[in-house]
Amino acid sequence: MNNIELIFPEIFISLSIMFLLILGVFKKDSSKIIHNISLLVLLITAVITFNETLSINPTTLFNESIIIDYLSSFMKIITLLATFVVLLISSNYLRTFKIFKIEYPILILSSVLGMMIMISSNDLIVFYMGLELQSLALYVLATFNRDQLKSSEAGLKYFVLSALSSGLLLYGCSLIYGFTGSTNFNVISTQFNTNEYAITFGIVFILVGLAFKISAVPFHMWAPDVYEGSPTSVTLFFTMVPKISALTVFIRFLYVPFLNLIDQWQMILVFLSIASMLFGAIAAIGQKNLKRLIAYSSISHIGYALAGLATGSNEGIQSSVIYMTIYIVMNLGFFSCLLMMKRNNIYYEQIDDLSGLSKNHPLLSISLLIILFSLAGIPPLAGFFAKFYIFKSVIEQSMYFLAIVGLLSTVVAAFYYLRIIKIMYFDEEKDSYDKDHNLWLKLSLTVSTILILMYFIFPSELIDVVLKINII
């Protein structure tokens, strides 16, 4: 077998999962050690991915069903690092709810494994396999706080709707297989007949399934409920990591086999993007719960990432990747703040609970202020540049309507971010929150805030990295 070392990261992570499972069964009270080992595993996997696969030429494995190239390696590293931080800052939260169990890191690792397979997939079946692996782990994670009604409800809802979308996706796969005779992306791209409408149907079904996974409007209904009900640390995971992998599949699925059919899918993507941007922005205005609000905000953000994909150009893909990267940093910062809103072992998650935060916690609130302005896309913060690259690539393709609607929805979105700032800064204070936070939590907040604030000093670094992504 040639080039087997290219899937060392996946092999390593699956062996670790098995090892951790056995360790969890045979050693009592091993949740802490398993947690730490998992962190280590994620870090090592990221290092292996970085060393082994980042700088190689695109290579396919296993009959071209797995592809290792710059995009996949980059996305894997982001996935692993984001998961690493999620795991790092969630321990205190889990302990508070007494759900600091061995299953949590193991489930996260298995879903990460699924995502890595998805990211590398070059074949509909491999892609589906990865998708199901990550989804099954995510269902369980959503219900992880099973004593709470809302958490169970979230998991069930997610399971039912996700299963439905997986069904649609499979149906799309079977249509494409039926009309091209292969499930492999490269083969499909040479086999299909552009006049065959059934293929377009197949694409639409697969897009629906994928849109569900990234919670793009109109397939977003599950997101607010699931985000609200799941434990906050899991919500953090949901808002970022599965979207990276689904977006990668989006890119590969649309750009490798079906770039010639761009006329067919471009309008769909433009619609998904505009609907997500606008709906996310408008629906978030009425929210009272921060997790629900961030659900709508993430819907809106995914709309911007999709706008980059809708361009059909390499610049568009790159801008989407930049967008997601910056979005992840902002999201990590936001959730670090959310995880700090704890008083007497109770976590607060209503917007009103932030009232007057700036008086009791000046540093926390200034960080949140920066993160929120960045999420709203106000210069000179990182969020502005993320949007700037997206609109740059969108306007390059003369898609002015998309650009103008997108920018107008940032104004609408600015309203609800400003509302949080208003509550933090202009309203009367309430009791102060606990100040003895986990060191990692503080560190994650500080680092993400500084990255957002200082991004404008070194904007080229991220671009240089992303510019190597070359799909078309």
Binding site for another protein (CB under 8 A): 373, 378-380, 384, 388, 391-392, 395-396, 400, 403-404, 407-408, 410-411, 414-415, 418, 421-422, 425-426, 456, 459-460, 463-464
> Nearest approach, Cβ of 283 to another protein (angstroms)?
18
SS3 state at 342: strand
How crowded is residue 438: how many other Cβ atoms within 10 Å of its Cβ?
A: 18
> Where does residue 312 fall: left (phi above 0), alpha (psi -120 to 50 degrees), or beta otherwise?
left
For the bound state, the minimum distance from the C-beta of residue 300 to another protein, rounded and expressed in Å, comes to 15
Q: Which is nearer to another protein, 336 or 409 (CB)?
A: 409
Q: How far is the CB of 385 from another protein (least distance, A)?
A: 8
| Nearer Cβ to another protein (306/424) | 424
Q: Residue 146 or 422: which CB sits closer to another protein?
A: 422
Closer residue to another protein, CB minimum distance, 48 or 376? 376
Q: Residue 121: phi, psi to the nearest 5?
A: -70, 140
Q: Which amino acid is at 45?
A: T
279 or 384: CB nearest another protein: 384
Radius of gyration (C-alpha) of the chain in whole angstroms: 21
The partner residues of 59 in beta bridges, in order of sequence, read: 68
5/396 with CB nearer another protein: 396
Token match 């916690």: residue? 361
CB 471 within 8 A of CB 255: yes
* Nearest residue to 294 (alpha-carbon basis) of 239, 342, 241: 239
Q: Which residues, 6 or more positions from 121, have their beta carbon under 8 angstroms from its beta carbon?
A: 65, 66, 67, 127, 130, 249, 252
> Is the CB of 126 or the CB of 322 nearer to another protein?
322
> Where does residue 226 rank: exposed (0-12), middle (13-18), buried (19+ CB within 10 A)?
buried
Instruction: Say what the alpha-carbon torsion angle 26, 31, 36, 40 is, to the nearest 10 degrees.
Output: 50
Least separation in angstroms between CB 78 and another protein = 21
Q: What angle do CA 255, 259, 260 make, to 5 degrees?
A: 170
Closest contact distance (angstroms) between CB of 297 and another protein is 17
DSSP string, 216-269: -TTS-THHHHHHHHS-HHHHHHHHHHHHHHHHHHHHHHHHTT-GGGHHHHHHHH
Give the nearest distance from C-beta 472 to another protein in angstroms. Answer: 19
115 or 390, CB closer to another protein? Answer: 390
**Integer Cα distance of 276 and 294 in angstroms:** 14
Min dist. Cβ of residue 400 to another protein (A): 7
Shortest distance in whole angstroms from residue 435 CB to another protein = 16
In the complex, the smallest distance separating the C-beta of residue 461 from another protein, rounded to whole angstroms, is: 10
DSSP string, 275-327: HHHHHHHHHHTT--BHHHHHHHHHHHHHHHHHHHHTT-SHHHHHHHHHHHHHH
**Could you give the 3-state DSSP secondary structure of residue 346?**
strand
Q: How far is the CB of 373 from another protein (least distance, A)?
A: 6
Please identify, using beta-carbon distances, which residue of 214 and 402 lies nearer to another protein: 402
Looking at the Cβ atoms of 150 and 392, the one nearer to another protein is: 392
